[in-house]
Chain A
């Protein structure tokens, strides 16, 4: 499917998309995020990429799972979910299923619980293998911080540092300017010796493609990504230049637009339009 298919198999590019916060709603910035997820998945999987959500951090809430399906159900992809709390009702070969995906999306919630449950089910090694095979790893909030060495979580009520899987070096703080107490805890932690990293507002994201520095993205005007580092006894915070992700037209409109274009082409061909 993918022109680079063979090349990608030899040396897959390791990709991670970390998002500061979003939902699967039909609002424009959420649609923009979903479009990006779909595009990243399609770059690996072609026309009908496989996208799987791991809603573990939320306790596998049906609310999150159904909003994921309503965002991707009608799009050109094969969405699925792996609900570790619900496997009893629908057993599946966990490892095989995850390694068949083009993109694995991790939902938000409790970072501490996420890692604890993953450890109990031995998911971490599967995700790390998926990453090395070029399966895109993505997520928001706890689902973004989990890829780093550390993050700032409210898993125990107040914001506090917690460890992640460490696929990406350094740390991440999500909901950056949306939750001032979380940002404050992050700056304190980095000042206190936690490895530096990034702050992400809701609707800002960072995309790692292979080695090197990530590119910053934003789906909402004013939402920013920050580099946060500890330099000379001071914590420095600098906003990163970000590419704006426009929202695609909503589903209903997309059909209307396609129809309009068809009619326009027909009319052009018939010479009705100049």
Chain B
């Protein structure tokens, strides 16, 4: 039986889906498992289980450093039949990006929502980017379908969440408005930043880019208070700057 604490690492954006050639966030979550060959299961349902996305997962999480698997809820005739047993036997569950609305709908239909809570409680590390971050929180801001909207997530973390929280982005603006309208306080992360929760507490913020940050947001009176959180850059500060990243795939994390 695992006695590990409950852990969630919520990426504002990044990892193999968005940062080809920059494995810092993916290495970080693998490292948290403290296993030599961790069992990692990819859940790509937010992308509609896009084949090319699954292939990229297996490339990034190759068999020499972990035991990768995936669950395709659109092709249940393949893959593990006992979803619960498979998910509970993992060290890390990695949720891909895409449409969080569709993701939560499909999860509910297959009972994945309650299995994930069980997995979290038993110490399986949960992580993901974009939709794969929003899903863990009680409330979230999705910008996937044009105008940003509010939605309810699984509620493992009793906060609100906003991803791809770049300066001047529509999501940022909408998140502030939602907070003023009564959305509970929470956390936001820019592309490349990841919020690491132990239990329901934010443990630390790590980043795959020197200038990617996480934020804490609250409302005081009639004002949104945004606080930048000290963020640990996971790379070598002295190394030459990485090549410019491809345009943030904030709306299409499954794109090539």
Contact = CB atoms under 8 A, between A and B. Distances in A.
Contacts of A87: 99, 144-146
Nearest to B142: A88
A59 B50 contact: yes
A109 B250 CA distance: 27
A116 B74 CA distance: 12
B69 to A, nearest CB: 16
A110 B108 contact: no
Interface stretch (A14-22, A152-160, A229-237, A250-258): A152-160
Contact of B145 (A88, A113, A115, A119): A88
Interface stretch (B41-49, B201-209, B226-234): B41-49
B110 interface: yes
B81 A157 contact: yes
The number of chain B residues touching the other chain, given as a range, is 20 to 34
Contact of B51 (A61, A85, A110): A61
Which of B46, B108, B143, B252 has the largest number of chain A CB atoms within 10 A? Answer: B252
A121 B99 CA distance: 10
Interface residues of A, number: 28
Nearest to B145: A87
Nearest to B107: A116
Contact of A91 (B51, B102, B145): B145
A121 B101 contact: yes
B48 A61 contact: yes
A49 B106 CA distance: 32
A143 to B, nearest CB: 14
A153 to B, nearest CB: 10
Interchain residue pairs A-B with the least CB separation, the first 6: A59-B48, A120-B105, A88-B251, A91-B146, A116-B109, A85-B48
Interface in A26-62: 56-61
A155 B81 CA distance: 11
